[in-house]
Structure 1
Amino acid sequence: MIPKPYARPSRRFVLLLWLLCVPLTVFARDVLEGIDVSPPGATPQVLIHFSTAVQYITHSPPDHGQEIQVRLRTLGLTGSQEDLVLAQRNEILQWTPTERIPLYEVRFEPDVAGQARLLVRFRRPVHYRNLRLSADARTLLIDLVPPAAAQAAPKPGPAAARPAHRPSLPAGRYVINLASSTRPFDLRAAARRIPVEKHILYTTQVTIEGKLWYRLRLGFFASRAQAKAVLPRLASFYPRAWVARVPREEKRHAVEQTRAAARPGGTRPPRHREYLVVHRPDLPPLPPERIRRMMSEADTALAKGNYRRAAQLYTALVERGTPEAGKTALEKLGLARERLGQLAQAKALYEQYLDQYPNDPGARRVRQRLLGIVTARAKPRARLGRKRGAREPWEFFGGIAQYYRRDISVPDSGSTTVTQSMLINDLDVTARKRGERLDYRFRFTGGYDHDFLNNGKGSRTRVSSLYLDLTDASTTYSLRAGRQTRSTGGVFGRFDGLLATWRWQPRLRLNGVFGSPVQRSRDGVDTHRHFYGISLDMGTFLDRIDTVLYYIEQHAYGILDRRAAGGEIRYLDPKRSLLTSVDYDLSYRLLNTFFLIGNLQLADGSTINATVDIRRNPLLTTSNALQGQTTTDLSVLSGQLGGEDALRQVALDRTSLTRNFTLGLTHPLDAHYQINTDITVSNTSATATSAGVQGIPATGNQYFLNVQLIGSSLLKEGDIGILGVRYADTSSSRTLSLTADSRYPISRQWRINPRARLDYRDNQNDGSTQWTLAPTLRVDYRMKRNVEFELEVGSEWSSRRFSSTTTRDSAYFFTLGYRADF
């Protein structure tokens, strides 16, 4: 949400103290990590961050609506898909809507099919495009179309059977720069000189040392060699032509310019952004050792406050360095200009970075800095005159929520029982301060569940996250301390501790981590278990590949609990993505986890996705031996069993091996309908009987088939309807499920969501058959821009037939509450 300066400390602190004293809790934030939006001046964009890797399956509606429903598959924090299915926790993140980005809520809802749906809600209908995952599969990016551009876009006629596909960008990233001039080029005259049937002839603008230059370019080529092969044929007209590699933003500009010229009366192409500093292929490139020395000198100058010298060096690196060095130098050049008080230039440089590297891991950091500049410039003029060294105010933002949940069970005997009566609350607070040398960020999500039942689960306090981030101004170092979540570098979940990062080369980042694992958000600090690890992030290479290597070691009660090494390889391009991860236990000499997530987009708009997930369940640690035991002390259990060798064998006996293989396809049928199907094969090995704990037999192969028909804007703009069929053939039963899910916006304030599920189950263990009907209705009412009320009611009726008798059970529930941000 848009941060607001902390202008009235007394009232805000009273509010925060009251919130911390009121019993509050949080749905465990195991998947949703946070939200970012692009700052004013950049392309409107929503970024949704996850604490673990996810796989995109499909989304609906295709390109416009007030609510986007995204289907995802996630491996969960511990890597087990069962975690997602069994938890059944809805997660909610709030945001303050603006006219430019009217986002107000992101909701994560686990699905019984081992998938999840992500609901991205806006205050008004929006147009969007380029919905995609980041290279590390931990951020979902959604580009919004500005209202003026959306209204100008042609709408399909009523006779259209299916919408015309948005023309894709041409293949290849290499172009021939034919000529450069301080005067505009005549494209029509240039086209008569060269054959352009198979290529695009276009112009760009760039500012070099304060002077505006026009460039005439011919694209696009798959490789530098292909482009160079064409140069001899152009030499008579353009003897000084040279080959360049361009970002996707320039390709998009070239296509838009060509379309504009092709329209009736279209003679003036859209204006391309003018950059303050660009790579200069006309200058001799710097040697690698010189680049390294200049980058080191520039970083030192930036850290010591010699911003003018740093700006000079970073400018030279952008103009004459390698692409990777230029990318790093461009970001830091913006930072140096910002520290010099040259906010207009810093803003332009940050916007240039986001134009050229929108999906780079550093883009999130740059967006935050750009947002800080825009926010600062929007303050009263008197504040802009603040002297260097003056204290910047803290910025506070967040949200609160409170729900009451009541569950009633009515078994066949007729005795009604209240199984849950609980007040569920949620508090999420973020504080941020931008200093001269350091940027600070504080995050808290946590609270308290109040159980009204004497025989219920009990009231409990939860802390999902509580940490402080410190980042130095040069973005070379960062430190995060407190309760946090991590799903890379060998850490799989929540922990209390420290995470330190040092970027000593543009493509190399060293991370160190130390802490104690946290099993549940209601747990305190575990003083008996601790781990430490180191990881190396490398990339991006070839604009597509990133890698991670790590080593980690964990001890519990003085006994080696886990010693592992592993890594990740990530590949991302516009049509395909691949993420693979391996964790190998060096102590047990066994593969702990291996998973692979792949997506492929076809020319007709279809998407193929595949998942291979092989892992020990639970994650292999010596602490697994504690399952089924009366003691929680690993050293005590070791003594009871006769030593660590016996203890480690029991840990292996408690650990199974699970294999999941999933293949899915999403295919658009027309402007309103799409079909989604996937099949999963899963099996889990047996566990052995030992140490007084009964083993669990193997499951054998289990099969799951899902088919969904998804429709959008059927009765009213922004509505969504889903019909689904699921078949599960497991070792204990065969189940056929029919589902119906609809989301209908009655008005801008009211929205209803009726759902229903009908199951037929054939139980293998006792020969019984069972019918289950579960209808649910949720109603949302938005009273103000930042306050929303929600009511959800539902029931479940089941009839189970045995050979000689039939039992009928029912259950009911309702949830009532509100959410508000500040």
Structure 2
Amino acid sequence: MTMFNFRSPVLAPVAACVCAIFAVSAQAQVMDELEIRQDGNNAIVEIRFVTPIQYSRALIARSGDQVQVFYRVLPRRETISLDASERRLPGGGEIPSFIVRDVSAADALPTSVNRKLVVRLGAFAKFRVRAGRTNRSIELVLTGLGGSVPAAVAASVKTRPAIATVDTTVTPTSQANADVEAQAAALLATAQSAYDGGNYDAATTSLNQLLNLPPNQSSRRAQELAGLARLNAGDKARAAAEFDVFLKLYPQGADSDRVRQLLTSLPAPGQSAQEPVKEAAAATSVTTGSVSMFYYGGASDTRTQEFQDSPLGGLPILQSETNLSATDQKQLQTNVDLNWRYRDTEKDMRFVFRDALTRDYLKGTDKNRLNALYFDYRSLTLGGNVRVGRQSPTGGGVMSRFDGVQAGYAFQPKWKVNAVVGKPTDDLLDTRRMFYGVSVDAEALTKSLSGSLYLIENRIDGTTDRRGLGTELRYFSGPVSVSGQFDYDTVLRAVNIAAVQGNWQFTEATAVNAMLDRRITPMVALGNVLFFQDPTLSQAKRIDELLGVTPIETLQDQAKAITAYQNQFRVGGTHTLSTNWQTGADFSLTSIDAVKPVASLSYPGQAATGNLWGVSAQLIGTNLYSARDTHVFNVSLLGGPSYHGTLLSYNNLSSLGDKWQLEPSLKYYTQSSPDGGANDIWTLGLRATYRVRNQLSLESELTYERSDARGATTVAGPGALSSAARTNYYFGARYEF
């Protein structure tokens, strides 16, 4: 399917963004995009999210072409759509294609932020799943497939240091072990084959991988071949640089004499060649995306019985009975996802468009959600990038989706400075809001530690809404990954966020994850006072209206006083019992602090929630009767000052051949409260996907819920009994191109 005819690879996407940059309101989906990169001998498929998440566990099918990845959405300010979404990544070489679907976890409560990714690979591959380098990503590590990453991607992500960073005192073979030697020999053979076939760009890719290994027996030949590949590709300046490195490392020998002779006809290292340099690799342009349409329906039946104690025997007698039936959901949702990408050896350009239109037949309204509309340009030679349009935050203190521009420049290897300016996509009454900020990223503070420092100014009606100074730190070393964030408002003098989360692959069979998060909810900002005004006065819709009667210092104190801290602690883990079974357990503790009364706003305050706790255990079975079946048995105990609950659930995912995928589930939840109230809920569900062909799939889900509730006991007698039955369903189709 062709949706746009780009006559210019740059101007058309830019024009589209400029025309619609401030078009409509947005509500982001959780999953953002997929990206592939090379990491030594492995290929990494990075699944990125628009909001911070916490990776929990993964269930890999025996067939090696399917995995379920469970995660949790962390506290956030932005409104996130929990609708299902899907992203694709084309394969290449030995790397299979990927279809990643983000859905709610079937064992979760309706309001839960527990989710899972269902990942289908186009062919068998040996891989593992791990937490990403940031708290907005999860990574699939494809073992031994680094050489199959497309050449342009590999070159743009993994480039070898410049001459100045070469250590000429290292003896080339003194540190190599058997594994390194074998890997280097294989890479050299691949590079030589590509060179002999005239594919100099592919040869350079393999050689860069080899030369990033510890010095080995293949290093000398690889360094010479790297210069020859550059020379035959027409890049004389880089060829000279490669040959210069060779002579620094290997000044003596017949090959050294050859290289020295070649250097006499090349420009000095660091200088440009006088003649035009022909392109090292052909440019590639690809357009991918999807169009989907789903109908969502729902109906409920409710029966209520009122009781009162009998004045004779003291037994409750029926006073009234009502029955209500209603259709409470009729919606048609259409989603469009378009991704255009252009790559060559010097630049990487992308245009992304994601939009959802919802037609509500009960309300007779249409709602459009523009999730993404941006153009992204990255220079692979200068180290700069710019993105313009509607986009998700990527750090730097930006907390919500926005329309604007962000740009960055790598001024030193592993160091980058960034700037951003934009307007939040969500409206706040009649106010005018915008923000701007700067940040510095350091990819290697140490070998395992990276991070960023940012300063951001949010403006509202010409006044400071918030001024955030913060940092994000990331530790990534083998089986351990830890990320943390700290955000402090220097104007309102309040800590907005203090959070840390980590994952530890303790052994091959045991993994542990933990999170500690304390943040103001919603984030403290001057604009919050617009929702807590004195009800006896005329209600302002702009901050400057309040400033006409109230000093700025008073408004700032009020903004701090009316917002509460939310605290979360979670710890969990999984342990493999056997080839087919593993166990999991989680513990969580959540609370929201009290808000004191604010007399100047006639605000009565808000009591603290107390500690809300939850403990759960899972028994997980995989490949019990096929190569792609998984089973999750879950028991959860929940409690707080005003309730206690128990959740029992079972979820199954099975693939019937290559066409059908079925997910039946069963849940039972019971809850009681000290005042005598109680609630029991049974939920039965079935989600089905039928792939008509590779690009077209039909999807449907049916959920039936039965609930029985008893109201709190009163002086008149026991609480009312009510029962309800609710049916929800959706069905539709998705076409990929």
CA distance in 1, matches of 2:376, 2:684: 44
Shift of 1:625: 1.2
In 1, are the aligned partners of 2:88 and 2:97 still within 8 Å (CA)? Answer: no
CA drift at 1:620 = 1.1
How many residue pairs get aligned? The number is: 623
Q: CA deviation at 1:655?
A: 0.8
User: Residues 405 and 507 (structure 1 numbering): CA distance in 2 closer, same or farther, change over 3 Å?
Assistant: same
Once the two structures are superposed, the pairs formed by residues 797-812 of structure 1 within 5 Å of their partners are: 797-802=706-711, 803=713, 804=718, 805-812=720-727
Pick the aligned partner of 2:438 from 502, 518, 534: 534
Partner amino acid, structure 2, of 1:684: I
- Give the structure 1 partner of residue 588 of structure 2: 680
Query: Is this contact kept in 2: 1:4–1:397, CA < 8 A?
Result: no
Of the structure 1 ranges 116-125 and 643-652, higher mean CA displacement relative to structure 2 is found in 116-125
Q: Displacement, 1:657?
A: 0.6
The one-letter amino acid of 2:384's match is: Y
CA 133–460 in structure 1, closer or farther in 2 if over 3 Å, else same: same
Structure 1 contact 207–276 (Cα < 8 Å) conserved: no
CA shift for structure 1 position 812 = 0.9
Deviation at residue 483 of structure 1 after TM alignment? 0.9
Instruction: After TM superposition, list the pairs within 5 Å mapping 1:55-66 onto structure 2.
Output: 55-61=54-60, 64-66=63-65
How far residue 309 of structure 1 moved from its aligned partner, in angstroms, is: 2.5
Amino acid of the residue matched to residue 89 of structure 1? D
Q: Could you say what secondary structure the match of 1:671 adopts?
A: coil
Deviation, structure 1 residue 437: 6.3
Of the three residues 687, 692, 698, the one matched with 1:778 is 687
Q: Does 1:90 align with 2:90?
A: no
- Check 1:527–1:201 CA distance in 2 against 1; reply closer, same or farther (3 A cut): closer
Residue in 2 that maps onto 1:309: 237
Q: Distance in 2 between matches of 1:315 and 1:78?
A: 53
- TM-aligned CA deviation for residue 3 of structure 1: 12
The 5 Å alignment of 1:438-457 reads 439-454=348-363
User: Aligned to 1:126, what secondary structure does the other structure show?
Assistant: coil
After TM superposition, list the pairs within 5 Å mapping 1:119-518 onto structure 2.
119-122=117-120, 126-144=124-142, 204-205=184-185, 275-276=222-223, 308-313=236-241, 316=244, 340-341=277-278, 343=280, 376=284, 395-412=286-303, 413-434=322-343, 439-454=348-363, 458-518=365-425
Give the match's secondary structure for 1:459.
strand
Cα distance 1:31–1:276, how it changes in 2: closer, same or farther (>3 A)? farther
Match runs of 1:553-564 below 5 Å: 553-564=457-468
Could you tell me which amino acid in structure 2 is paired with residue 533 of structure 1?
A: G
Counterpart of 1:652 in 2: which secondary structure? helix
AA partner of residue 300 (structure 2)? S
Q: Find the residue that maps to 2:638 and give its secondary structure.
A: strand
How far apart are 1:729 and its partner, in Å?
1.0
Q: Distance between the aligned counterparts of 1:200 and 1:42, measured in 2?
A: 11
**CA distance 1:775–1:66, shift in 2 (3 Å):** farther
Distance in 2 (alpha carbons) for counterparts of 1:409 and 1:558: 49
Q: Could you tell me which of 718, 728, 751 is aligned with 2:661?
A: 751
121-130 or 616-625: which moved more?
Answer: 121-130
Matches within 5 A, 1:100-115: 100-109=95-104, 111-112=108-109
Match among 710, 734, 742 for residue 652 of structure 2: 742
Distance 1:538 1:146 in 2: 28
Deviates more, 1:119-128 or 1:666-675: 119-128
**1:575 and 1:671, CA in 2 relative to 1: closer, same or farther beyond 3 A?**
same
CA distance in 1, matches of 2:89, 2:188: 37
AA of the residue aligned to 1:104: I
Residue number among 646, 649, 656 corresponding to 2:554 in the alignment:
646
Q: How far, CA to CA, are the matches of 1:504 and 1:480 in structure 2?
A: 18
Is the Cα–Cα contact under 8 Å of residues 125 and 718 in structure 1 kept in the other structure? no
1:225-270, CA deviations, whole angstroms, 9 ceiling, x for partnerless residues? xxxxxxxxxxxxxxxxxxxxx999959x99xxxxxxxxxxxxxx9x
Distance, in Å, in 1 between the alignment partners of 2:631 and 2:380 is: 48
Task: Find the aligned partners of 1:712 and 1:755 in 2 and give their Cα distance.
Answer: 16
Alignment of 1:704-723 (within 5 A): 704-723=614-633
Contact 1:398–1:429 (Cα < 8 Å) also in 2: yes
Kindly indicate whether the alpha-carbon contact (under 8 Å) linking 1:278 and 1:319 is maintained by their aligned counterparts in 2.
Answer: no
8 Å CA contact 1:512–1:535 kept in 2: the answer is yes
Q: Does 1:671 align with 2:579?
A: yes
The amino acid of 1:308's aligned partner reads: K
Rounded Cα–Cα distance in structure 1 between residues aligned with 2:68 and 2:296: 25
Match of 1:821? Answer: 736
Q: Deviation at 1:664?
A: 1.2
Determine the C-alpha separation between the residues in 1 that align with 2:614 and 2:245.
54
Return the offset for 1:277: 6.4
Deviations 1:508-557 (A, max 9, x none): 100001111123xxx69997101110000012244311120010111101
Query: In structure 2, what is the Cα distance between the partners aligned to 1:524 and 1:753?
Result: 40
Give per-residue Cα distances to partners, 1:261-298, cap 9 Å, x unaligned. Answer: xxxxxxxx9x9998456999xxxxxxxxxxxxxxxxxx
Shift of 1:57: 1.8
Identical columns (%): 23
Three-state SS of the structure 1 residue aligned to 2:560 is helix
Letter in 1 for 2:84: N
Which amino acid in 1 is paired with 2:55? Y
Of Structure 1 and Structure 2, the greater helix share is in: 1
Deviation at 1:732, TM superposition (A): 2.9
TM-superposed deviation, 1:619 = 1.0
User: Hey, what's the Cα distance between the residues in 2 that align with 1:44 and 1:653?
Assistant: 50
Deviation at 1:94?
Answer: 3.6
Deviation at 1:310, TM superposition (A): 4.7
Deviation at 1:762, TM superposition (A): 0.8
Residue 42 of structure 1: how far off its partner (Å)? 8.0
Query: Could you say if the C-alpha distance between residues 616 and 180 of structure 1 is closer, same or farther in structure 2, counting changes exceeding 3 Å?
Result: closer
Cα distance in 2 for residues equivalent to 1:701 and 1:274:
65
The answer to whether the 8 Å contact 2:50/2:393 transfers is yes
Distance in 1, Cα, partners of 2:70 & 2:246 = 40
Amino acid at match of 1:133: A
1:727 matched to which residue of 2? 637
TM-score under structure 1 length normalisation: 0.67
Indicate how the Cα distance of structure 1 residues 6 and 673 shifts in structure 2: closer, same or farther if over 3 A, else same: farther
CA separation of 1:277/1:532 partners in 2, compared to 1, >3 Å: closer, same or farther?
Answer: farther
Structure 2 CA distance, aligned partners of 1:710 and 1:808? Answer: 33
Aligned twin of 2:50: 51
Q: Would you say the 8 A contact 2:505–2:511 is kept in 1?
A: yes
Tell me the SS of whatever aligns to 1:463: strand
Distance 1:100 1:537 in 2: 31
The 1:273/1:657 distance shift into structure 2, 3 A limit, reads farther
Give the CA deviation at 1:507.
2.2
8 Å Cα contact 1:77/1:487 also seen in 2? no
Q: Which whole-Å CA distance do the structure 2 matches of 1:472 and 1:274 have between them?
A: 30
User: Following TM superposition, by how much is the alpha carbon of 1:100 offset from its aligned partner in structure 2, in angstroms?
Assistant: 4.3
What's the CA shift for 1:592? 0.9
Q: How far apart are 1:787 and its partner, in Å?
A: 0.7
**SS where residue 124 of structure 2 aligns?**
strand
Alpha-carbon separation, structure 2, partners of 1:512 and 1:671 = 49
Distance in 2 (alpha carbons) for counterparts of 1:561 and 1:575: 41
SS at match of 1:624: helix
Contact 1:132 1:141 in 2 (8 A): yes
Please say if residues 788 and 819 of structure 1, whose CA atoms lie closer than 8 Å, have aligned partners that are also in contact: yes
Consecutive unaligned residues of structure 1, counting only runs of 5 or more, are: 148-173, 182-186, 188-195, 213-245, 255-268, 281-304, 322-331, 347-372, 377-393
Alignment partners' CA distance in 1, 2:482 and 2:373: 32
CA separation of 1:810 and 1:492: change in aligned 2, threshold 3 A: same
Match of 2:70 in 1: 71
Amino acid at match of 1:810: A
User: What is the CA-CA distance between 1:708 and the residue it aligns to?
Assistant: 1.3
1:588 equivalent to 2:504? Answer: no
Asked whether the equivalents of residues 429 and 445 of structure 1 are also in contact (C-alpha less than 8 Å), the reply is yes
